[in-house]
Structure 1
């Protein structure tokens, strides 16, 4: 959840002082230096633990994956130069590029892929094991990794990309706690200094498979200070790259900075637990659905950069289902009528909306539900994640950065064991069969878009989620940094240059 990431990352740091401790030296050397300050600075550098949320974008400085995502959102080669399925579709073989090595000198081969997948599935604190349920086992055969599946699943090339399988050196990963402090990967950069929660310095990896197209020599990544000071820091040169909120975009433009609009799979939702009263009554669930005015979220929170959505995908994405648009349009009169039919008088239903940090979304929900006679009390629990993922909460908010695999996004929200399904083990009728058809359909099949949208339609029958709005990722950067590839949700440094430093 973005709010959770902000709550974790917004530590009190003296960024100007930190930048003087090496940042100015790097910039003064004449090398191309990226000075990135981030509101979602990684809490972990072990990709098995920290490869979720938005932090995977920063871990991708260090770690490469089997595949990566292109500007169309499709899987293309990264560490793997190619792959193919068997005829049945329950086994896939990835062929790795020859001669690659991790920054500690260990080879990038089938054994490294097997170790990465096994660790993601078995390590006790793994955040990724739920994403890999289709994988039964992995055989290492030299530069080949042969992945045996529990079912026909053509989503694997999409799945094993930058977000879910960032591959660490097996030697370094033998001690996950040490890897968390001293990350070792085969990505475009190598960590030279790491201060947990505060700062990391990196240098270009000369052994990266595409090093010839990486034109940045050094990276200084710091945890963002108070949001109000970020634009000033960009103006004065303390930073030259920063993720920003929509309300900062205009100030950044006025300061002469470029605002890069990065496409994403972001979508915010209201999460209901239908296993608990009052949401065990379908009429109450529908009343809440009709009480929500999505446009108010867009108008008040996105400053022109967002749009309404009633799905876990933005409009235009292949998985977005036009047939499901406006199934529950804003209708407060109908909401009040449903509550009356369910036997509830105005003010009788009282709900605690539990969230991890202050969030203006919560106030909008509180106001909109008050208008139909539901009283909402906002409660902040810094340990919110524990009861949320244990499915102990009744009412909450969530925002997803999405997945490269649309099927994974759908199962995360609507599957019986989905981490974002607050009503587990509930799943909507027909969803299991619909998502199975998605997995069984090759990504290049002409039928794939329609099969995928049918699964979205089946998932949206869920009573556990009410989607509200989506918005892209916004980045403010110095004009000295060239344009970035518009790969959805990912930051790709391929071909990016920084002028005035060479």
Structure 2
């Protein structure tokens, strides 16, 4: 039997621990620092305040970072992007690789007093797979059956899949109390989990007040007593709100970073899997012609996106992964370089004259990226009409649009990122059920390869390479998540795409 018995991961690096040793010395269960005069209060202004607090409905978009205040998961992600213990202390695969057993920590309970046991995890997985409005069922297709015995969760798989520990983390399996989840609509307004904090007040769409959960498994390393999470007002006022102390933590866009620094705030650059793309529907004209698709590929100047949109924090990319990440494929880099003359030549070979192609570019809100795409394609003879539709998501996910823009935050499992973009049922594949030739076989091989196997990185990159043969997406640029915070808040662990409060302190209150 192959084992993955992982000791509890300590997220704070040695330098981090030394830097904040003085403030931690006087920390009791309340997390108060030396010289503090009150509870450690986090005041977070968010531009993506959750519309849903039921993790099954909220899905795996950016809001999972806020729901993680309330909910814990089977696994979590460390600073290298690997799965480490959370509610599950350890896990192990059977020899065949088609079954994984998670061993839960003993003595845990949800904030309503219900036990965190295997039955609760089984209920969470099954609800995510079957609830009518679940946003997660597509991520759990490998799971055939879940068996619960005491604190052991046995997950039987429909295929060999060594990605499951990566998958069942904060993005896809935030575990709610089964008693509370029996009424999903009520859970949506009164979230009950086993995470580091519990909600004491919730004003839907506006404000959430939370307090430290003394029953959280790692409560000793949570040094924040209260959290006030509010929906950010107009972005132009966020920095001034941080300056005046209305907030002490806020997500910001690159255009605000310089002002935040000048205001004496820390700008935390959080690594992530963000990547913007142009989504094409190859099932509709004119993109059913490969030459037209290739023309679009060569018409895109990625550096213009970086120069105009990222304010020095982004980079050009033609992949859904950042360069240096294990799934990034160097062989595929710059396969379709910016070459407008070649784009015009390809259109001519396709029998298309300048002005023949006129399309709607449908997007959810006005955004500069749309104007850049419009300008770049106009330069090669393709005319775009930018159409803003606040209900854009319905036709996008129904695969009814011909052309759109999308930005992804990725997944902790690289395979899930790939299948979401390039798979026949991928939610981010506007051309479903189209998939590039060889992609399914390449992904199958990744699933069959243990993550610790020496050949795993190359097998994974081969799957990325196969996915990038897709004609349905043209990636443009990538940017990290940016957070402006008061200097009274200590450094955060740089876990890719996650906000982790382990070891974080607030001083000088």
Q: TM-score, normalised by structure 2?
A: 0.93
- Write the distance in 2 (CA, Å) between the matches of 1:109 and 1:272: 44
Residue of 280, 294, 312 corresponding to 2:288: 280
Cα displacement (A) at 1:478: 0.1
| Contact 1:137–1:149 under 8 Å retained in 2 | yes
Q: Residue 29 and residue 174 in structure 1: after superposition, are their counterparts in 2 closer, same or farther (change >3 A)?
A: farther
Residue aligning to 2:472:
464
3-state SS of paired residue (2:452): coil
What root-mean-square deviation, in Å, do the aligned CA atoms of Structure 1 and Structure 2 show?
A: 0.7
Equivalences, count: 474
Residue aligning to 1:368:
376
Cα displacement (A) at 1:348: 1.1
Residue aligning to 1:218:
226
Deviations 1:318-357 (A, max 9, x none): 0000000011000000000011111111111101000000
Residue aligning to 1:486:
494
| Contact 2:73–2:173 under 8 Å retained in 1 | yes
Residue aligning to 1:30:
38
Deviations 1:271-329 (A, max 9, x none): 00000000000110000000000000000000000000000111111000000001100
Cα displacement (A) at 1:51: 2.8
Is residue 354 of structure 1 aligned with residue 362 of structure 2? yes
- Write the distance in 2 (CA, Å) between the matches of 1:289 and 1:386: 26
Is residue 92 of structure 1 aligned with residue 100 of structure 2? yes
3-state SS of paired residue (2:383): strand
Deviations 1:15-57 (A, max 9, x none): xxxxxxxxxxxxx981000000000000000000013210000
| Matched ranges for 1:136-175 at <5 A | 136-175=144-183
- Write the distance in 1 (CA, Å) between the matches of 2:68 and 2:471: 35
Residue aligning to 1:304:
312
3-state SS of paired residue (1:200): strand
| Contact 2:59–2:134 under 8 Å retained in 1 | no
Deviations 1:84-122 (A, max 9, x none): 000000000000000000000000000001000000000
Residue aligning to 2:28:
none
- Write the distance in 2 (CA, Å) between the matches of 1:123 and 1:245: 34
Residue aligning to 1:420:
428
Deviations 1:202-226 (A, max 9, x none): 0000000000000000000000000
Residue aligning to 2:405:
397
- Write the distance in 2 (CA, Å) between the matches of 1:52 and 1:491: 14
3-state SS of paired residue (2:102): strand
3-state SS of paired residue (1:340): helix
- Write the distance in 2 (CA, Å) between the matches of 1:235 and 1:51: 33
Residue aligning to 2:124:
116
| Contact 1:104–1:169 under 8 Å retained in 2 | yes
- Write the distance in 1 (CA, Å) between the matches of 2:152 and 2:61: 29
- Write the distance in 1 (CA, Å) between the matches of 2:162 and 2:457: 13
Gaps of 5+ in 2: 1-35
Q: Residue 198 and residue 29 in structure 1: after superposition, are their counterparts in 2 closer, same or farther (change >3 A)?
A: farther
Deviations 1:446-488 (A, max 9, x none): 1010000000000000000000000000000000000000000
| Contact 2:355–2:382 under 8 Å retained in 1 | yes
Cα displacement (A) at 1:489: 0.1
List, as ranges, runs of 4+ consecutive aligned residues in structure 1 with deviation greater than 6 Å. Answer: none
3-state SS of paired residue (1:455): helix
Residue aligning to 2:77:
69
- Write the distance in 2 (CA, Å) between the matches of 1:443 and 1:186: 28
Residue of 387, 399, 410 corresponding to 2:418: 410
Gaps of 5+ in 1: 1-27
- Write the distance in 2 (CA, Å) between the matches of 1:431 and 1:291: 25
- Write the distance in 1 (CA, Å) between the matches of 2:438 and 2:350: 27
Q: TM-score, normalised by structure 1?
A: 0.94
Residue aligning to 2:10:
none
- Write the distance in 2 (CA, Å) between the matches of 1:298 and 1:444: 35
Residue aligning to 1:313:
321
